[in-house]
Chain A
Amino acid sequence: MIGDTLLLQVAAVTDIAPGLRHLRLVAADGGKLPPAAAGAHVQFVLEGAARTWRNAYSLVSRPGARDAWEIIVRRVPASRGGSAFIHEQLEVGDRLLAGWPGNLFAPVRIARHHLMIAGGIGITPFLSYLAEFGFTGAGHALHVCCRESEKDVFAPWLGSSPAVAFHWDADGHRLDIPALLASQPAGTHLYVCGPAAMNDEVMAAAAVAGWPASHVHCEHFGSALFGGEAFRAFLVRSGIELEVAEDESLLDAIERAGVAAPCLCRGGACGVCVTPLLEGEAEHRDHFLSADERAAGRLIMPCVSRARAGRLVLDL
C-alpha cells in the first residue's frame, strides 16, 4: 500500500437491492478523510476470522467529500470472499483499515464530451463522474447495461438525468455498441467499466470505429481475475517459501507471509506491484505489461497473475 493507512468506521449499511450493499464510512477519530477525485478507488483491509482480504472499491461519494466515503459492493458468490465478508460480517460501528485513495480512472478534463458505458456493478466509478459533471457542466452520456430488475437501484445517484440510458438483455433494449461508437463527435472520451467480456467488446468496437487509443479508457474489475490452481512461490530476498491457495492471489500470500509488497489497485492495472520473476512461467492476467514484457517472462504482477506450471521464484 502507498502511504499511511487510515482507520475507518462503518457509519451506515444499506442493502439497496438483493446482493448490493451500500456502505458509508467515516474516519474513526471523527476527523476528515482525504479528498478523492471522480473515478477514485480505495483499498480496504477486511479482517475475517480466518483470513484477511484487501479489496479495492470505487468511491461513489461526491468527489472531494471529506466527511464520509461511500461504496457499493456486489456480493460475488464465487469470489475470494471479501464481498461475502462485507455482506455477512460487517456491521455499523465496525472499524477497518483503508489505504489512501488511488485513481487510475479519472475523467479527462480536456474532453469535450464524456461517453460512459457501464456493465452491472461497473456503474460505480461513473456515479462519482456524474456528480462531477453535474458540477462542471461537462457534456456527458452514460449507458448502463444491467439486469432489468436493477435499473432503478441507482436512481438516488442518477436522478432523472436525460443523459443516462439503461439497456438490458431483451429485444429492443440491448445496447448497439458499434452504432453508439460510430456517431460520436471529435473530442469525445470513452470510458468503459464492466465485466471483461464487455470491456473487450467495447474496446474492439472502438478500434473498428477509428477511435484513437488516447481517447478510450477502461477499468477492469471482477472476481474472474482471481483464483486458480494452487501453486508454490519462493521469495529470494526474504528467503520465504509460499503456498498460494486456490482462492487467494500471489499478492495475498506474500502479504500473509508478512512481506510488504508495494501495490495500489490490486487489479492488474496500475503496475505498482510489478516484480522481477527469476524462475518459473507466469500466467499473466494483468492489463499492464506489454506483449514484449510478457514474452520475455522476466516480470510478474502478483496482484492478479499466477503460475502457469510449477514454482515461481520472485526477486522479493
Chain B
Amino acid sequence: MLHSDIKSRPTYRALEPDLAAAGHLLVIEAATLQPGGLAGLADAFAPVVANLHTWLVGEALAAPGLGKPWHLPAVADVVDALACATRGYGIGDRLYVQGTEPFLWSVATAAAIVGFGPGQLQLCHAGSLQRRVWCTHCHGVTEQVTTNVVPCAGCGRHLLVRDHFSRRLGAFMGVMVDAEAPGEIPAIEEVFA
C-alpha cells in the first residue's frame, strides 16, 4: 500500500545524510522503530554527527551515536517546536523524518511553514500504514484510519479511502462510498494496518 498508480501518492526512501548540508535535524517517531533501528540510523548519520540534532518523539529511548537526543512527548510538540524555534533554520540545513505517514506529513507541513523546501527534506516511512483521511464533503479529518472504508469523524458519511494524497493537508482523500446507491456499503476490511 506504499505504491499506487495514483501519481499524488508519495513515495519514501531510507534516510541518507546530505554531506553538503550545514546542519542536520533528525525527527523520529519512536514507536515505529524496529529493533536495531536506532543503531542503523546512527551508522548512517555517523559522518555528520558533529552537526546532528535528533528529536525522539514518544518513548524516551537512549539513542547512542545520534548526538544528544531531545525527547518530545508527541508530534504536536514537534510542530510547536518548529514553529517557535528561537534559532532560525538555515538554507543549508536538512530535515530527516521517520515514522508513519500522518507523522511524516505533520512534521513536513510544519517545516514548510518555517521555510524548508522539498530539497531540504527527506521522509522515510516506518511502522503502521495508517492514514489521515480528509473528507471531500465536510472537510473534516479522520485520524488513524486502517480500513478501506471509514465513517467520517466530521459528518458520519462512509468514506472510501483513496490513494489521492494532498501534501498541503498531509492526508488522503475520502469520498462518500454510497453516494450513488445510499446504504450500499462494501465490506469493510483492514488494509492499512
Contact = CB atoms under 8 A, between A and B. Distances in A.
Nearest to B88: A185
B119 A185 contact: no
A209 B20 CA distance: 7
Given A182-B22, A207-B20, A210-B18, A215 B94 contact: no
B20 to A, nearest CB: 5
Contact of A184 (B91, B94, B117): B91
B94 to A, nearest CB: 7
Given A182-B22, A207-B20, A212 B89 contact: no
Interface residue tally on B, bucketed by range: 10 to 19
Contacts of B88: 185-186
Nearest to B94: A210
A184 B92 CA distance: 8
Interface in A245-294: none
B91 A188 contact: yes
A212 B92 CA distance: 7
A214 B91 contact: no
Interface residues of A, number: 18
Interface in A179-196: 182-188, 190
B90 A183 contact: yes
Interface string B86-107: 0011111110000000000000
Nearest to A190: B91
B2 interface: no
A210 B120 CA distance: 9
Interface string A156-168: 0000000000000
Contacts, number: 58
Nearest to B22: A210
B119 A214 contact: yes
Contacts of A182: 22, 90, 92
A211 interface: yes
A147 interface: no
Contacts of A112: 115
Contacts of B120: 186, 212
Interface in B47-99: 88-94
A186 B22 contact: no
B117 A185 contact: no
Nearest to B118: A214
Contact of A209 (B22, B94, B116): B22
A215 B117 contact: yes
A213 interface: yes
Contact of B117 (A187, A207, A208): A187
Given A186-B116, A214-B119, A208 B90 contact: no
A185 B92 contact: no
Contacts of A212: 91, 117, 119-120
B185 interface: no
A215 B89 contact: no
B21 interface: yes
Interface of B: 18, 20-22, 88-94, 114-120
27 contacts: A182-B92, A184-B92, A185-B89, A185-B90, A185-B91, A186-B93, A186-B114, A186-B115, A186-B116, A186-B117, A187-B91, A187-B114, A187-B115, A187-B117, A188-B91, A190-B91, A207-B20, A208-B20, A210-B22, A210-B91, A210-B92, A210-B93, A211-B91, A212-B119, A213-B119, A214-B118, A215-B91
Interface of A: 112, 182-188, 190, 207-215
